[in-house]
Chains A and B, each alone.
Chain A
């Protein structure tokens, strides 16, 4: 029998994948990535008129599948472990999604049908002016509020596994642009290597290059390189 599946019939890309797998009546583990990728893409191609937001989720999954598929085909040894991780993560993702779907049916039965309870109407709390006025609060309430704060703190601590390094931005593209423009006022041309301090770090080189590209884009400089890997020369554009 021929029937049409619409995008609305699925909760998301994982749902569609599970459906495609279940049609084959095989194990999730046994799924052939290249086969499923092809079917998946054929399927979403039919949904040309998808809502853009929904579509993006499906397309992200398609690119994930294609990445896995291409890595399976390419014999790159150094990347083997990475590829295996990707595959494993994908499989466990699918299996967990299958479990959570069952779980959501259970929760849905409970929440949607069985346990509706109703209470007294809610009173709209008086809006208090949070000025310097004295606050009346009894000790129990204070304790409860304090305990709640402690609990929050504890939760945050739990996730504080290791400190995170946020690199300091020592060079900005704008600074480099200004620097280059200023230098070009006095010199006919500049060599790329002149753009840095004596011992440039990677960050400085990258920032300088970005500044050059930006200046080139706004049509203020001309860039010249005589031969491959040769010195890059930067000229001010004559107006």
Chain B
């Protein structure tokens, strides 16, 4: 039986951290193995969900964060008006989608997918912490490679990239004709 006090110690850690914190640091803080700490966090998370508390635990890869529950976002926006996050533009969303499904990716390739120069919008997405530079491509000029951030996962409400809907799903929703689908399949070979 796990120690219940440790569960609420974790709650305290998450509360004080405010931002995302790595599972290992939490485990070290309460002197538990990573697995046990994870178990307690999940229990805590279920507790919050069941009682519809004002906050919830978000997970992005191995990071956890205590945040206000998304249902209450409208209320929060009204109280703290200055914290409203800007709505993303169509071009920002296109870039975000391309980076999400093709990462790590260079700006040049993003431009090619869109047929337009994307550098300004890419920088805005970096400033908004939705994408980040994850490395450099070893070709002349060493261009930046972009990938999505934990912030992106949390905004989307998924704990890891594995839980993004598969790209094939969008092929279905995009209403491609059979000929178009076949063309894409041929190209892969």
Contact = CB atoms under 8 A, between A and B. Distances in A.
A115 B145 contact: no
A164 B138 contact: yes
A102 interface: yes
A12 interface: yes
Given A116-B70, A116-B73, A118-B76, A102 B135 contact: no
B155 A93 contact: no
A51 B177 CA distance: 35
Contact of A99 (B115, B136, B171): B171
A158 to B, nearest CB: 8
Interface in B117-165: 117, 130, 134-140, 145, 154-157, 165
B119 to A, nearest CB: 11
Residue of A92, A98, A118 contacting most chain B CB atoms (<10 Å): A118
Interface stretch (B2-10, B35-43, B44-52, B96-104): B96-104
B136 A156 contact: yes
B18 A11 contact: no
Interface of A: prevailing SS: helix
A114 B180 CA distance: 32
A111 interface: yes
A95 to B, nearest CB: 5
A11 B91 contact: yes
B66 to A, nearest CB: 7
B135 A156 contact: yes
A226 interface: no
Interface of B: 15, 18-19, 22, 24-25, 28, 56, 58, 65-70, 73, 76-77, 80, 83, 85, 87-88, 90-91, 93-94, 96-98, 100-101, 104, 112-117, 130, 134-140, 145, 154-157, 165, 167, 170-171, 173-174, 176-177, 179-180, 183-184, 187
Interface of A: 11-15, 27-30, 53-54, 56-57, 61, 88, 91-93, 95-108, 110-112, 114-123, 138, 140-141, 143-144, 152, 155-156, 159-160, 164, 166
